[in-house]
Structure 1
Amino acid sequence: MARPSRAHERRADLVAAARRAVIGRGVLDLRLRDVAEEADMSSGSVLYYFPTLDDLLREVQREAVERFCAGREEAVRGEPDPLRRLAAMVRSGLPTGPDDELCVLLYELGTIARRDVSYAAEHIRLYERQVGIYAGILDTGAATGAFTLTRDAATIARNLVALEDGYGLHIVMAAPTLDAPRAARLLLAAAADATGLTLEAIEAAAPPHALDDPRTAAAPHDHDPEGDR
């Protein structure tokens, strides 16, 4: 009897090794041998499963995008109240801090999107999928009377995702200029402005389970005049 192929398992191991290598070294300085060493394999063995380093990194990016978007979808799934869904969505998109491996990985791989159309396409998919989640929440809220939108849902959704991207970068920089709770409150303020709500109403709407999750919760703040509405 033929032995079962371990190709799928080995490819998964290499994706995990490449993920660790990107986080540890950064994508711009990454070499094939870095991944091989991380996986405890020869460079030739890596190329047996992935013809080029770019092929491997594209799979790393695809998997990271899927995990991130699935996590955001899960954060709002099963919550019927649009206000609570919006609050949970806002809090699910930010890095927890400079050591948030999944978000750091996405930012690192995003740097290649400037010069490679295949990486750019995956980065666009990441953006559009998040926009779609937001737009669905906003449309539902407007239809039920929970929100009074100041713009169409798609425009608000695109702005919120872009703000998340910008604030997230400030959180994971070598010298962070924001922490996750501060960034979350700024985003909640923007969401309040766009939906005709008060910041306090959106903050109070955070689902109880979100408050126990460091990715989806913001810590209490002192009075913040920039965020008050």
Structure 2
Amino acid sequence: MARPKRQHERRAQLVEIARQLVVERGVVALRLTDVAKRAGLSPASVLYYFSALSELLKEVQDQAVERFCSARAEVARQEKDPRRRLVAMIRSGLPTGQDDELCRLLYELGTVARRDPAYAARYLDLYQRQVALYLGILEAGSALGVFDLASDSETIARNLVVLEDGYGLHMLMAVATFDVPTAERLLLSYAATATRCDLDQVLSPEPTP
């Protein structure tokens, strides 16, 4: 039996290899033998650390969701002005381009969520955490009088998350429907309408003294 430290290191190695393979090849074509080959192990050895490929991929998903949500929460913490926080949040939710590995990973694993309730539950958590971040920004801006919300804050927050997901998916297709500036502009347009706030002022460079 592997020692606890060694077992932890090997599990981490397998998770990293699985992450790389999902990004490179996609989740649909991935097989346990692919992970084992890159790790220099037999498939049976991989199953010593993870009972099935699905268990390994759930760990990959868990880490990807946590990284994505933590990064967005940090973006929100860095801005004090609700308007700037809203703009920064929108930018942080879109892929930076087709080479954005974290977003590609989340979208790839999302294909499994359509069939597996365990994966779907993790994506529901991802969605709810992002909605909560937007809710905090919208309600703070409303309380300060910088936002005049066109509908309830939860509806706007949900729409923003779903629009991000939709634009992001189109941006990562083999032939992208949107580039980053266009997707960002469309999202900011909706946000400005929904908050009745001129976000162009936030986007403009601050005057130098």
TM-score of the superposed pair, with normalisation by structure 2: 0.94
Does residue 182 (structure 1) correspond to residue 185 (structure 2)? The answer is no
For 2:122 and 2:205, how far apart are their aligned partners in 1? 32
CA displacement, residues 136-168 of structure 1 (integer Å, 9 cap, x when unaligned):
000000001010001111110000000000000
Cα pair 1:188 1:202 within 8 Å, conserved: no
Equivalent residue of 2:78, what SS? coil
Cα pair 1:94 1:180 within 8 Å, conserved: yes
How far is 1:53 from its partner? 0.3
Counterpart AA for 1:197: C
Q: Which residue number in structure 2 is paired with residue 150 of structure 1?
A: 150
For 1:5 and 1:65, how far apart are their aligned partners in 2? 25
Q: Which residue number in structure 1 is paired with residue 195 of structure 2?
A: 195
Counterpart AA for 1:111: T
Cα pair 1:98 1:171 within 8 Å, conserved: yes
Runs of 5+ unmatched residues, structure 1: 207-229
Q: Which residue number in structure 1 is paired with residue 6 of structure 2?
A: 6
For 2:22 and 2:168, how far apart are their aligned partners in 1? 18
For 2:38 and 2:125, how far apart are their aligned partners in 1? 29
For 1:201 and 1:103, how far apart are their aligned partners in 2? 29
Counterpart AA for 1:53: L
For 1:173 and 1:185, how far apart are their aligned partners in 2? 19
What is the alpha-carbon root mean square deviation over aligned residues? 1.6
Equivalent residue of 2:134, what SS? helix
- Aligned CA distance change for structure 1 residues 78 and 97 (closer, same or farther; 3 Å): closer
For 1:158 and 1:4, how far apart are their aligned partners in 2? 42
Q: Which residue number in structure 2 is paired with residue 116 of structure 1?
A: 116
Q: Which residue number in structure 1 is paired with residue 86 of structure 2?
A: 86
How far is 1:41 from its partner? 2.0
How far is 1:202 from its partner? 4.1
- Structure holding more helix per residue: 2
Alignment of 1:68-87 (within 5 A): 68-87=68-87
Shifted more, 128-137 versus 74-83: the winner is 74-83
Q: Which residue number in structure 2 is paired with residue 105 of structure 1?
A: 105
For 1:154 and 1:204, how far apart are their aligned partners in 2? 28
How far is 1:7 from its partner? 1.2
CA displacement, residues 25-81 of structure 1 (integer Å, 9 cap, x when unaligned):
111111001111222222111111100000000010010000000011111213221
Runs of 5+ unmatched residues, structure 2: none
- Counting aligned pairs with the same residue, the percent is 61
For 2:176 and 2:165, how far apart are their aligned partners in 1? 14
TM-score of the superposed pair, with normalisation by structure 1: 0.86
Alignment of 1:35-50 (within 5 A): 35-50=35-50
Shifted more, 72-81 versus 103-112: the winner is 72-81
How far is 1:204 from its partner? 3.0
Number of residue pairs the alignment of both structures matches: 205
Cα pair 1:84 1:205 within 8 Å, conserved: no
Misfit runs of 4+, over 3 Å: none
Alignment of 1:5-24 (within 5 A): 5-24=5-24
Q: Which residue number in structure 1 is paired with residue 95 of structure 2?
A: 95
Cα pair 1:32 1:53 within 8 Å, conserved: yes
Cα pair 1:65 1:106 within 8 Å, conserved: yes
